[in-house]
A = this chain, B = another copy of it.
Amino acid sequence: MSGEADFLRRLKAMVTDPAARGLADDAAVMLTRGHQLVLTSDTMVEGVHFRPDDPPDTVGWKLGAVNLSDLAAKGAVPSGCLLSYTLRANDTAWDREFLGGLGRCLKRFGMNLIGGDTVTAPQGAPRVLGLTAIGEVPAGQIIPSRAGARQGDKLYVSGPIGDAGAGLALLAEGKKAPGELVRAYRVPQPHVTMGQAIALKAHAMMDVSDGLLIDAWRMAEESRCALEITHVPLSEHYEAIHGDSIEARMAAATAGDDYVLLVALDGKREPPHGLIEVGQFKRGEGISIKLGGKRVRVPDKLGYEHG
């Protein structure tokens, strides 16, 4: 069986939602029942968003996870997705493992593959893997944007910062040990359930994908507030390698691929369990940093400028 036929057979075996029409039609069809739909599209390019030597099943997982993380940040219940896949000659094993990892991620979070497109890539071209994900939110329920934070709101994250960046650095140094940090880089866990729980209370919400500082700055800009960052929570795995100095925290805050939620909530209320306070919105504009009571210079590069 040719690589393409094999890939399409495996793709069809992943399909259960009637919306997909068995992947035998030109388009997917969704019944919407009057829900609001949240749509997001994230593309990963080989050599840019993943390493050519990343195990293909983790690349598949990550493509699902980064899109699910965007749905999570809107409080949406994952529904369906469309895959855009560049197929290369003689890559059957890679394709198969990729689909296995993507399938595990979609199953884990209840998102159905409902369509997409498979295209041929020229030999030697980097893989370009795109997913468009659709989630549902009940009609009338507010969907938090980046632009709703208010003066006096506190800023929270739903997990530690910097693990994925530290994992990527280990890989770049040629470290072979898988370890928790590398795992954070390769197999991020989108905070889908947490996002659904917080969405009703959040003034603003997004996920941290390009780095805590740059994404928090974007939220502040869109919300027309100033923001003071007061904490950068680190994991024990991160601290075991880099310690918890201000330098270590700033390195974590400017690394990307965290895929935790970034949430602005009323500063006078008790935050939901599982959130960690990292800052406070104020009158004005721009971002400032104070860690352990000390003012820290805002770095020139806040994170990745684009994905």
Interface residues on chain A, size class: 35 or more
A84-B84, A119-B48, A125-B125 known; A21 vs B145 contact (CB < 8 Å): yes
What is the minimal beta-carbon distance from A276 to any residue of chain B, in angstroms? 20
Are A43 and B119 closer than 8 Å at their CB atoms?
A: yes
Copies assembled: 2
In the complex, A203→B49 CA distance in Å? 44
In the complex, A80→B139 CA distance in Å? 19
Cross-interface CB contact of A40 among B71, B115, B137, B145, cutoff 8 Å: B115
Are B74 and A117 closer than 8 Å at their CB atoms?
A: no
Cross-interface CB contact of A146 among B25, B39, B119, B146, cutoff 8 Å: B25
A32-B37, A36-B32, A130-B43 known; A306 vs B27 contact (CB < 8 Å): no
A34-B33, A121-B126, A307-B118 known; A39 vs B28 contact (CB < 8 Å): yes
Are B24 and A40 closer than 8 Å at their CB atoms?
A: no
What is the minimal beta-carbon distance from A178 to any residue of chain B, in angstroms? 26
A36: B residues at CB distance < 8 A: 29-32
Are B147 and A47 closer than 8 Å at their CB atoms?
A: no
What is the minimal beta-carbon distance from A112 to any residue of chain B, in angstroms? 12
In the complex, A299→B26 CA distance in Å? 24
Are B30 and A74 closer than 8 Å at their CB atoms?
A: no
Are B118 and A306 closer than 8 Å at their CB atoms?
A: yes
Cross-interface CB contact of A43 among B48, B115, B117, cutoff 8 Å: B117
What is the minimal beta-carbon distance from A18 to any residue of chain B, in angstroms? 11
Are B222 and A306 closer than 8 Å at their CB atoms?
A: no
> Can you list 19 pairs linking A and B with CB atoms under 8 Å apart?
A4-B306, A25-B145, A27-B40, A27-B135, A29-B38, A29-B39, A30-B36, A32-B34, A32-B37, A39-B82, A41-B82, A41-B117, A41-B132, A42-B117, A47-B122, A118-B306, A119-B128, A120-B306, A130-B130
Binding site for B on A (CB under 8 A): 4, 21, 24-45, 47-49, 70-71, 73-74, 76, 80, 82-84, 86-87, 114-122, 125-126, 128, 130, 132, 134-135, 137, 139, 143, 145-147, 206-207, 222, 305-307
17 other A-B residue contacts (CB within 8 Å) besides A120-B307, A128-B128:
A24-B222, A25-B74, A25-B206, A27-B74, A31-B36, A32-B32, A32-B34, A32-B36, A37-B37, A39-B80, A39-B134, A43-B117, A44-B119, A47-B122, A84-B130, A117-B130, A132-B132
